[in-house]
Structure 1
């Protein structure tokens, strides 16, 4: 009998107040939407009911509301969705919601908390008003600090703040100041990552002046030291925690299963010895129509693609990868990847033990070099 992998649920809310110039996520300005939240909610519930059998007898160990800006979804509508999914959640299921500081109040945070949401991820990005304006954010530093304080007042003790670095003309001092302010506001988890200019964004075609490579390296080097001094342990490429890791993200990185509902949401479900995926239509109206027509569009991933997919995800987490993980999550023999792992070891990018393998310090900086071996 094949053991079933842990499974999580991702729910995508595709609308924002406005599109940020750096954002390449599947999101759309709310005031231009041709769909109502009610019609979108109905599609989410229908999609869930039509495909919940794919998780077999498992229960979700994590639920994640992402976007877009899920905190634009009214608590009243979210209550209907929670009513449908709650019976399929583990007792201690992590239920996370992304929120924008400009779209939440203390009262709405309390409402989300009462519905079962037990983790908030607040998209602050910076506490510097000049940087926030350049990034096109709808909040200023005062609103960001107030939102962080309200998360604590609303009773959340599992609380992430998103902070970007390498912002337009940002100095090392300003980047470190953002970390210090975030750490002082009661969060137990930080996502700290570099701004990247994606092709299909406003910044992609109109690039701002970013810090040079030497400045970026200095920001990262000093940032790593500061985060450690503040008690935040780095457990994956951009994740730092004082106590609890993000279970939803770990499901992705450990190559476990996840079921995604909503426009543009992706799923990966292991069915027998097959790894199957689904990508939903990106436009909300197209997604609603597809759900009505009962299309699920799951397809089997080519077995030749699985080694790269596994390494792309699993090596993001710095924990040692046990030798049996590859076989458990892909149903392929470890010999499929052994020679390439040995080559990475020979180049000083991996270290081996009796139980598994892990990135060296050099490997953390040159992760892409390892991944290229599996292309």
Structure 2
């Protein structure tokens, strides 16, 4: 086995409460009580972080992503407290993202979040169409979404993301394009644009809404992609578009198979140990009350498992092949600890079939490979007897 190199490090912070659970959401989110247990949850996060920093192996945290749930339900001083704990562990130029929903009660907090140290927002707009928002169970309307984007500008955020979904219940081609146009008009420097999928353990899974057919959804995606490109946003990942300098560094670390710590109920982390040649994945206890109790006892992990060498090619490629830049074979070796020869034959087979292209050390998907990414990834499943 080749030498495993220690990759860059991020931190994910999970705040699990929402005003209301959306019917399509399969994240670990819970309807907020009348009074958020901010103090108790912060105490649990502090104890959890103390344990997590041992996994940092002396590395600076280069990116922080505060997700949920709806993190912007928490007051700005609570977010600032979490960031203060990081102290010297945080890189001087760290990207610090906070997810925010466009509810009118939250917009006034944007300036507070900026003052607390957050330098990037991800605003969960999903659509600017009132009927589509109601179909998705969102608590905000189109005007709330517009005000939220304006508030991000006003609060001094130089970069932020607008989340948009397409192939929504009752949505047509014109509606999908109108959402893109509105986000562009509002000056969003980064747009996440992804298809609504029906996930298990959601309301939509048990009571599926009528969605556009696959052909219509594909046409929406192609037209919206061309429109975004035509307005100066570059696609750098399957569903991520940004103007130059506005790519999400935290997500790029995921897609390049970097390391990330996790604190908060249900958070997932990944760490590499180059001295032992190990890569481990772990997750935290999901239920908020149980998480708070366990974290204070130093037992917030629900499970921790090593990634076997046989599984590493698929795990790496599931992320790296989403990127338009693809990956270098030297990065594959550094992040997995495996020689490039471990995947050379399968890469060549995919090149021969027009799904991948290779230029020296660099490998990336072709347009056909992007279209049939799931089938392409199946070629890298662990070999079994």
TM range (shorter): over 0.9
Structure 1 length-normalised TM: 0.97
Give the aligned partner of residue 343 of structure 1.
349
Deviation of 1:241 after TM superposition, in Å, equals 0.3
Aligned with 1:12 (options 14, 22, 25): 14
Aligned partners of 2:64, 2:104: CA distance in 1, in Å? 21
Deviation of 1:289 after TM superposition, in Å, equals 2.4
Aligned partners of 1:143, 1:69: CA distance in 2, in Å? 16
Aligned partners of 2:252, 2:115: CA distance in 1, in Å? 25
Give the aligned partner of residue 334 of structure 2.
328
Structure 2 length-normalised TM: 0.94
Give the aligned partner of residue 285 of structure 1.
289
Query: CA deviation digits over 1:250-272, x for unaligned, max 9?
Result: 11100000001101101100012
Aligned with 2:308 (options 279, 299, 302): 302
Cα contact 2:120–2:158 (8 A) shared by 1: yes
Deviation of 1:106 after TM superposition, in Å, equals 4.6
Could you say what secondary structure the match of 2:228 adopts?
Answer: helix
Could you say what secondary structure the match of 2:111 adopts?
Answer: helix
> How many residue pairs align between the two structures?
374
Matched, 1:274 2:278: yes
Larger displacement relative to structure 2 (16-25 or 331-340): 331-340
Distance 1:371 1:32, change over 3 A: farther
Deviation of 1:288 after TM superposition, in Å, equals 1.7
Give the aligned partner of residue 354 of structure 1.
360
Query: CA deviation digits over 1:187-246, x for unaligned, max 9?
Result: 110000000011210111111111112211211111111111111111101000012210
Give the aligned partner of residue 32 of structure 2.
30
Cα contact 1:255–1:314 (8 A) shared by 2: yes
Write out aligned runs for 1:156-195 (5 A): 156-195=157-196
Distance 1:2 1:352, change over 3 A: closer
Deviation of 1:134 after TM superposition, in Å, equals 0.7
Give the aligned partner of residue 264 of structure 1.
266
Aligned partners of 1:50, 1:202: CA distance in 2, in Å? 36
Aligned partners of 1:302, 1:245: CA distance in 2, in Å? 31
Could you say what secondary structure the match of 2:260 adopts?
Answer: strand
Q: What runs of 5+ residues in structure 2 fail to find an aligned partner?
A: none
Aligned partners of 1:2, 1:372: CA distance in 2, in Å? 24
Larger displacement relative to structure 2 (149-158 or 69-78): 69-78
Aligned partners of 2:324, 2:105: CA distance in 1, in Å? 34
Aligned partners of 2:202, 2:288: CA distance in 1, in Å? 19
Aligned with 1:372 (options 355, 378, 384): 378
Query: CA deviation digits over 1:133-162, x for unaligned, max 9?
Result: 110000000111011101100000111000
Matched, 1:249 2:255: no
Distance 1:371 1:104, change over 3 A: farther
Deviation of 1:81 after TM superposition, in Å, equals 1.1
Give the aligned partner of residue 116 of structure 1.
117
Deviation of 1:293 after TM superposition, in Å, equals 2.8
Larger displacement relative to structure 2 (212-221 or 234-243): 212-221
Query: CA deviation digits over 1:58-80, x for unaligned, max 9?
Result: 11111000000000011122222
Could you say what secondary structure the match of 1:62 adopts?
Answer: strand
Distance 1:3 1:309, change over 3 A: closer
Matched, 1:228 2:229: yes
Q: Which runs of 4+ in 1 moved over 2 A?
A: 1-4, 103-107, 295-299
Aligned partners of 1:103, 1:222: CA distance in 2, in Å? 32
Could you say what secondary structure the match of 1:31 adopts?
Answer: coil
Aligned partners of 2:106, 2:71: CA distance in 1, in Å? 14
Larger displacement relative to structure 2 (155-164 or 101-110): 101-110
Could you say what secondary structure the match of 2:95 adopts?
Answer: strand
